[in-house]
Amino acid sequence: MLKVGVVGLGTMGSGIVQSCVESGFDVVAVDVSGDIVSRAVDRVKLGLDKRVEKGKLEARSASAAAAKIQGTTKFDDLQGCAIIIEAVYEKQELKKSAIGRISETAGNDCVIATNTSSISITLLSKYSRHPENFIGMHFFNPVPLMPIVEIVRGYLTSDSTVSSATALAKGMKKEIVEVADYPGFVSNRILMPMINEAVFALMEGVSTRDGIDRVMKLGMNHPMGPLELADFIGLDVCLDILNVLYEGFRDPKYRPAPLLVNMVNAGRLGRKSGEGFYRY
Ligand SMILES: NC(=O)c1ccc[n+]([C@@H]2O[C@H](COP(=O)([O-])OP(=O)(O)OC[C@H]3O[C@@H](n4cnc5c(N)ncnc54)[C@H](O)[C@@H]3O)[C@@H](O)[C@H]2O)c1
C-alpha cells in the first residue's frame, strides 16, 4: 500500500492522517516535538473511535488504521513515501524551511503537496528540488468529514503529479476539483469576500450580528452564518487570506473591513480565543 507522509500535525495534519489511515494508507506523521506528535496520534485515535461509535467504522478496522501511523520528529523517516503532504503553519518562511527539508529527504519521484489555504503554489514550488513534482492539495476542515479537495496546479506542476495527487484524494474517498494557482483558489476567493462583506454590513449597522447570520442561514440555506463561520475559521486567518487576495489582485474589492482589522488587533480571534463576533 502507498506510503504517505504528513508534516505538521495540527488541526489539518491530524485530520489528513486520520483520513489516510482510514482509507488503508500507511502514514509517516511528522511534527517538531515528541509531545506534539503523541498528542496528534492520540487525537487521530480518538477520531477513529468516534467513527466507530457512530457506526461508520468497525472497531477492528479502527485499530488496524491506528496501527498504520508512524509518528516521528525525524524528517529522515519520510524516505520511501510516494507522496508527502505539508501542513505546517500558514507562514511562508516556515513553509519554505519545511518544504526544503522534505525535499532533501524525498526521493526524486516523490510528490510533495502543500495544504496551504492561500500562498501561491508556484512560489512554494521553488523551495523544492523538483517543482514539477509539487502541487497544492487543499483539504477542508474537519478533513475526515469534508468530502472535497481542491487540487491546485502550480505553473510548473506536471500532469503526472496532478494524476498522483488526484489518485490519493480519490483513494481517501474525496471528490476533487482541479483549480489553477491564483490567489484564494476557488474556495477562499469566493468565501472570504462574503465574510468580509458581512463584517462591513455589521460595521455600517445594516443589521445586527444575529440579523446578518439569520438572513444567510434561513434565506440562503447556509448551515452557518458568515460571522459565525468567521469565528470558526479564526478572524486572524480570515484577515491573512483577505490580505493575500488584496495584494495578489491589487483590487480594492478585497480590502479587509476595518472592523475585522480592529478585532484581530484586539485579540478577538473567534472560537480559539474565546470571543469573536460571538462569545464561547
Ligand atoms: N484550519 C483550517 O481550517 C484550514 C483549512 C484548510 C487549509 N489549512 C491550512 O493547513 C495548514 C495547517 O493549518 P492548521 O490549521 O492545521 O495549523 P495548526 O496550527 O493547527 O498546526 C500546524 C502544525 O504544524 C507544526 N509545525 C510547525 N512548523 C513545523 C515544522 N517545521 N515541521 C513540522 N511541523 C511543524 C506545528 O507544531 C503544528 O502542530 C496551513 O497552511 C493552513 O492554511 C487550514
N-terminal to C-terminal alpha carbon distance within the chain = 43
Q: How far is the CA of 90 from the centre of ligand 1 (A)?
A: 6
Q: Is residue 193 domain-shared with residue 115, that is, in the same domain?
A: no
279 found inside a domain: no
CA of 221 to the centre of ligand 1 (A): 30
Residues 121 and 254 grouped into a single domain = no
| 13 lies in some domain | yes
Query: Where do we find the cell 452564518?
Result: 225
Residues 6+ apart with CB under 8 A from 209: 202, 227, 277, 278
Rounded to the nearest angstrom, the distance between the alpha carbon of 270 and the centre of ligand 1 is 17
Q: Which domain holds residue 106?
A: 3-180
Q: C-alpha dihedral over 8, 195, 186, 29, to 10 degrees?
A: 10
Whether 257 and 201 have beta carbons less than 8 Å apart is answered as: no
Distance 99 CA to ligand 1 centre (A): 13
Alpha carbon distance 215, 15 (integer Å):
31
In the reported structure, the alpha carbon of residue 255 is separated from the centroid of ligand 1 by a whole-number distance in angstroms of 25
**One domain, residues 170 and 212:** no
pTM of the model: 0.94
Q: In this structure, which residue's CA is closest to atom 20 in ligand 1?
A: 10
Rounded Cα–Cα distance for residues 154 and 92 (Å): 16
Q: Is the CB of 10 under 6 A from ligand 1?
A: yes
* Domain final residue pick, 180, 198, 231: 180
SS3 of residue 251 by DSSP: coil
Q: List the beta bridge partners of residue 86.
A: 7, 114
What grid cell was written down for 166? 488526484
Report residues of the chain scoring pLDDT below 50: none
pLDDT value of position 8: 98
Burial class (CB in 10 A: 0-12, 13-18, 19+), 129: middle
Does residue 54 fall inside a structural domain? yes
Torsion of CA 202, 204, 207, 213, to 10 degrees: -20
> Is residue 278 included in any domain, yes or no?
no
- Find the largest Cα–Cα distance for the chain: 57
User: Ligand 1 within 6 A of 13 CB?
Assistant: yes
Task: Tell me, yes or no, whether 41 and 170 share the same domain.
Answer: yes
Given this model, what pLDDT does residue 1 score?
78
Q: Considering 134, 153, 180, which residue would you say is the last residue of a domain?
A: 180
Give the total number of structural domains in the chain: 2
CB-ligand 1 contact for 79 (6 Å cutoff): no
CA pair distance 267, 109, nearest whole angstrom: 44
Judge if the beta carbon of residue 98 lies within 6 A of ligand 1. yes
3-state helix, strand, coil in the chain (%, to 5): 50, 15, 35
Instruction: Give CA–CA dist 280/274, Å, rounded.
Output: 5
